Amino acid sequence: MPVIFEDIDPIGKDFLANFLAATVHGNCYHFALALYRNLDWSIVGVVKDSAIQHAGVKSPDGKFWDGRGAISRKEFASLVAPPWVIRAVGEEELVSAFPVSERMVETISERAQMVWPHLPWKKGTLRDRIAAFASDLEALSRKHKFWICGTTPMSLPVIFQGYDDEAGYAVRPSVDGNAHIINRVIGRIKPTGKPGRRQTTLSAAFLFLFSGRLEPVFLVV
């Protein structure tokens, strides 16, 4: 079955949304580069006296985006005292005007994908790669009939033999946005006789996925 990609916990979403909103003060150009590179949306800037004072992107439907999310043209320029102009800005122009940290661009990109998962993110982004990993893990689990799961809360993940009642794996971002949590989803037979997904998993091992390594953290039963 397709990987179940769940939204981040509301508390985590608020935390990351505040992080992104703070980028309007000194890191707007990092935000603009992150969305430009991962969505192919045009970079726009608020320019005053020939200098870029604020930057963001413009979506195909004409909305302006900065760390606060989708905002109006007036809101986008509200941080700069008039007179100013809003115009398209090229990546090279933006990079030459500000000291760019590629790590910050990557961090903002990852957080933005967690806060706004509905946006048309390009192939190869973090969300896409995490989903591919979970899909490959499910295929491996079905091939060998072994699944990563747990026994008691806070215990290390273990490998259990499968009994063909696994619906697959579900993935969601961790509350702090530094990782993703993956857990096994157990299926059941509803009274109608049709297979379905349990509202809560009976046994699920949680792991943090960090740059190619698995670190067991906790599980829920």
Q: Can you list the residues of the chain whose pLDDT is less than 70?
A: 1, 149-156, 188-221
At 1-16, the pLDDT tens digits run 678 889 999 999 999 9
Residue 155's pLDDT is 62
What's the pLDDT score for residue 166? Answer: 82
Q: What is the pLDDT of residue 154?
A: 55
What confidence score (pLDDT) does residue 185 get? Answer: 81
Tell me, what's the pLDDT at 147?
Answer: 83
pLDDT at 167: 82
Q: What is the pLDDT of residue 85?
A: 98
Q: Residue 173 burial (CB < 10 Å; 0-12/13-18/19+)?
A: buried
Task: Quote the pLDDT of residue 39.
Answer: 97
State the burial class of residue 70 (Cβ atoms within 10 Å of its Cβ: 0-12, 13-18, 19+). middle
Three-state DSSP state, 76 = helix
Instruction: Say how many residues make up the chain.
Output: 221
Domain residue limits, the chain: 10-115, 125-220
